Amino acid sequence: MPVTAADPGPSAPSPTRGRGDDPNQTSSQLAPRAPFPIRRHTRPPGARHPGPFTKAVIRAGFIGGGYLTPKLAARAAARLWCRVPPSADARRKDNRPNPGVIERPRVGTLGRVTVEWWGADGAPVVYLVHGWGGWRGHVAGFAPPLVEAGLRVVSFDALSHGDSEPGVHGPGYSSGGEMIESLKAVAEFFGPARGVIAHSLGCGVTARTILEGGLTTERLALISPNADMRELAVRFGRSLGFRARTCDLMIRDIEGWGRRIADLDVTAMGGQAPLPAPLIVHDRQDKQVPFQTSVDIEANWPGSRFVATDGLGHFRVLIDPNVIRAATTAILSDEALPTPP
């Protein structure tokens, strides 16, 4: 179901049920409760994609600021970097097979995330992890074959994404650190995973969460994994006309939002225990993340397997039948990929 600017998701929430405040209570013990109001925090009211003229004006302002007041320019650029893309982006799709069960676990003191799951309560869990600016419906196309195989598929909106509450930085802003904390909260709520399928920045988020002990999984599939975030940040700074010193100040301010930028570098994390060796899928025509990124990840990750596609880009790869088959087979396979010692 395509998502429109006026309706970035379902037009009305389905009946929901979830665990109450009693940690000993399970969702099977609860009757359905009244649906909560759908709130899209990804796109602040009135937010639009800037046009060419607006972009030129913004860049000119940053160039001037970079020379005259580099610290202020760097701080403003860091905030722009941490702005979640508008949820009405035409690339967003709702790939959910049908309405699932809604849960709303809390992420520490930061807020509640919206989780939707399909399958049998108590079955082995597979987590689906969206990328920057995505939402749970974006990656839900992998759910049907996994549910059919008897697994419980859990997809969620990170803080300030989709229907989840905003994080500490307010509506429309987030960070990789908040995405990590969101996944940790969901994993604590649902437990260890049989497998994880992650997309784009969700790959770095998943790998870091596993390395920090916030999630355990037997299988891992990485779809269009994110590139070196420091390199991306430098390119972003240069696109604003920054010199090297201002780029360094901007990266320092970005890291002030809660995480070292290197924490999300999938290539650097590859091969570290307890990460299982993944299936990696990447399209040669991906315009968001260079294809070479996955080539480098595979080369640095012993035991990983690489599937290259052609003509699917960064988003259609999530709904391609062959990609879905490859990823779900990697999760369901009785032959676990090796875990580094």
Per residue in 170-218, pLDDT (tens digit) is 999 999 999 999 999 999 999 999 999 999 999 999 999 999 999 999 9
Out of 9-13, 124-128, 306-310, which region has the weakest mean confidence (pLDDT)? 9-13
Distance separating alpha carbons of residues 220 and 10, to the nearest angstrom: 29
Residue 116 φ then ψ, to 5°: -130, 135
Given the candidates 3.40.50.1370, 3.40.50.2300, 3.40.50.1820, 3.30.2270.10, the CATH classification of the domain at 97-227+272-341 is: 3.40.50.1820
Tell whether the model's pLDDT for residue 164 goes beyond 80.
Answer: yes
For residue 156, pLDDT beyond 50? yes
pLDDT at 143 over 80: yes
Q: Indicate the domain borders of the chain.
A: 49-81+229-264, 97-227+272-341
pLDDT at 335: 53
Q: Residue 158 — pLDDT band, cuts 50, 70, 90? A: very high
**Beta strands at 279-283 and 217-223: parallel, antiparallel or unpaired:** parallel
Predicted pLDDT of residue 67? 43
What pLDDT digit, counting tens, does each position of 221-262 carry?
Answer: 999 999 888 888 998 898 888 889 999 999 999 998 878 988
pLDDT in tens, 21-50: 333 333 332 223 333 333 343 443 334 444
Residue 321 clears pLDDT 60, i.e. is over it: yes
% of the chain residues with pLDDT over 90? 61
Provide the whole-model pTM: 0.79
Nearest CA-CA partner of 264 in 276, 274, 254: 254
How do 305-309 and 279-283 pair as beta strands? Answer: parallel
**Lowest-pLDDT range of 6-10, 32-36, 154-158, 336-340:** 32-36
**With contact defined as beta carbons under 8 Å apart, do 168 and 175 qualify?**
no
Return the SS3 of 199. Answer: strand
Cβ-count burial of 144 within 10 angstroms (0-12 exposed, 13-18 middle, 19+ buried)? Answer: middle
pLDDT digits (tens, 9 = 90+) for 56-102: 434 444 444 444 578 888 998 999 999 998 754 434 589 999 999 99
